[in-house]
Every structure is written in C-alpha cells, then in structure tokens.
Amino acid sequence: MKTKYINEFIVLARTGKYSLAADELYISQPSLTRHIQELELEAGTPLFNRTAKGVELNEAGRIFLEFAEQHEHLYLEYAEKMSNHINQLNESVTVGSVFAMDQYGITDLMTGWRKANPDIRTRLKEADSAELLYMLRREQLSYAFLREDLPEEDRDMKRVPITDDHLVCLLPETNPLSKREALSLADLRKETFVYYEQCPLLKNLFLGAGYIPNINFEGVKGRNALNLVRRGAGIMLEFRKQIDDSELGGFAIVDIEPRIQSDISLVYSPQTLSDSGKKFVRYIKSAVAGK
C-alpha cells in the first residue's frame, strides 16, 4: 500500500467529507476518490459508508484506521531519523521563509550565508507563517523565518529576532474611509475584503472586534490583490513592509489602530540542530547583530 494513500485515508476519516479532505491534502477530489478505492481494493472490502453529510467509517474502516495510524507514526519516525541522518551526511540545512523575503532582509541574510558557506547545501521554501509552522512541527523544515505568533504548544521553540512590521489597511481611493488617518478593525465591519493573511493573530483580532470578515476573491494575494483594490473590488489588510513601494498608487494606505505589530523571527527547535544547523543559527545571529 502506498504510504500517502494511507495518510489520505486518515484525513478523510477525520473530516468525513471528500471535499474537505481533498482541500486539506491539496489534491483534487477525483484523485482522492481513486486513491481510497485502491486502498479498499487492496483491503478487499469497503472502508466507508456514505451518509447524507459525507462518509463515515464502517467496521472494516475502524479496524483499518487503527493500523493506519500506527503506520503513519512509524513512517514519521522513520522519515525524521532518515532526514537527520542524510542532513548530517550531506551538510545541509532546510529553511522556510515568509514570502516577503526581500522586504524583511531575509534575502540578504540567505545570500550572505550561501557565500560564507558554499559547501553546505541549503534548501529554501516559501510559504505563509501558518504553513511554515506546520512544517516545523513535522520536522519538514529545520528553520523558518516567520511572523511570530506562536501557539502555546510551540513556545519551547527558539527564536532569533529579525525585524518587525505593523498592519495597515489598503482601500480604493474612492472609499470614504481612505481619507481617515487611522482605522480600527471595528470600522471595517461592513467592508468587503479582497485579502488578509489568515494567521492566528488576525483571526483572534477579528473575533475580538466581534465579527468574521466578508472575504471576496478568496485565495488572491500579492499584485493581483492590489489591482483588485485599485479597481474598487474591496479592501485588504497587509503588513506594511510586504507592500513593495514600486506598487504604490491607485489606493490609500491607512494605519490600523490600536497599532498591531508583529515580529519576524528565525524560529527553530533546538532538539533538531545538526552541526551545519548550529553554524547556520550562529551566522544569522551574527549577521543580525551586525546590522
């Protein structure tokens, strides 16, 4: 049986819906359906019963789930040990970063690291903070430059402060709120949002303001989101340094008050440091201190 199919089975068993499971796994629903059918063919029996709300495990599925979870645990343990072994052999580090690498000075840090350590292979992956944190937990990354909003269960991770940023609102110049010097989240209750980064920090702030934002064009970000704001399709929340000054024009930037500041840090687990990883952390600390 293919390991990834077993993981897909576990996610489907937990969500109870093919659509939700497919979204979480970043695959199409037909692909997920085909993979589950292959598992059922190998098992020799159906593993799910269809319901009005989706699917649920039958008795065979519950038996399969018990061993599937054991299999996933063993596979993750194997993957961790093998990854650590290969990293030690190959002198490599795997680093994640938020998308605004240049704006936060991360590009210069990584370029300097590469020039100073040409023999150490460096893998770099861009993603948003929530995905980077997820990959850190699963040890798919050794280090990540991310917006620091760590849940309590991740407070044992170490961090090297890099810079900070603050939240602003981008509005079409035709929006009456664009003339204001500052806005609160409560002021935006009736607005349509083109985009905001759905990190725990902002989710909690919106809950504190007493509403869930109305998001249009969900999944659009970057230059495309800016163009939608320019054309009056809605507003967006963004951290100020992530807005490239070359993109300015056609919209207003208004501060959010009270000021919502966020720190960008290099985050890592001290338990997973290889020799090359320790060298990487020392370099970043030294480079930041020398700025």
Query: Each residue's pLDDT tens digit in the chain (291 positions)?
Result: 677 888 899 999 999 999 999 998 889 999 999 999 999 998 899 999 999 889 999 999 999 999 988 888 888 888 777 776 665 555 678 899 988 899 999 999 999 999 999 888 888 999 888 888 888 888 888 899 988 765 555 667 888 999 999 999 999 999 999 999 999 999 999 999 887 666 666 777 888 888 888 887 766 677 888 888 999 989 998 889 888 777 788 899 999 999 988 889 999 987 767 788 889 999 999 999 986
Task: Specify the CATH superfamily of domain 165-261.
Answer: Periplasmic binding protein-like II (3.40.190.10)
Query: 3-84: which CATH topology?
Result: Arc Repressor Mutant, subunit A (1.10.10)
What is the SS3 assignment for 47? coil
Q: How far apart are CA 224 and CA 216, in angstroms?
A: 13
- Yes or no: say if 125 and 141 are a contact pair by the CB < 8 Å rule: yes
**Cα dist from 182 to 171, 232, 239, 252, 255, whole Å:** 12, 20, 15, 11, 5
Q: How far apart are CA 228 and CA 236, in angstroms?
A: 9
Return the half-sphere exposure (C-beta side, CA atoms, 13 A cut-off) of residue 199: 22
Q: Do domains 86-163+263-289 and 165-261 have the same CATH topology?
A: yes
Query: 86-163+263-289: which CATH topology?
Result: D-Maltodextrin-Binding Protein; domain 2 (3.40.190)
Domains of the chain, by residue range, sit at: 3-84, 86-163+263-289, 165-261
What is the pLDDT at residue 255? 95
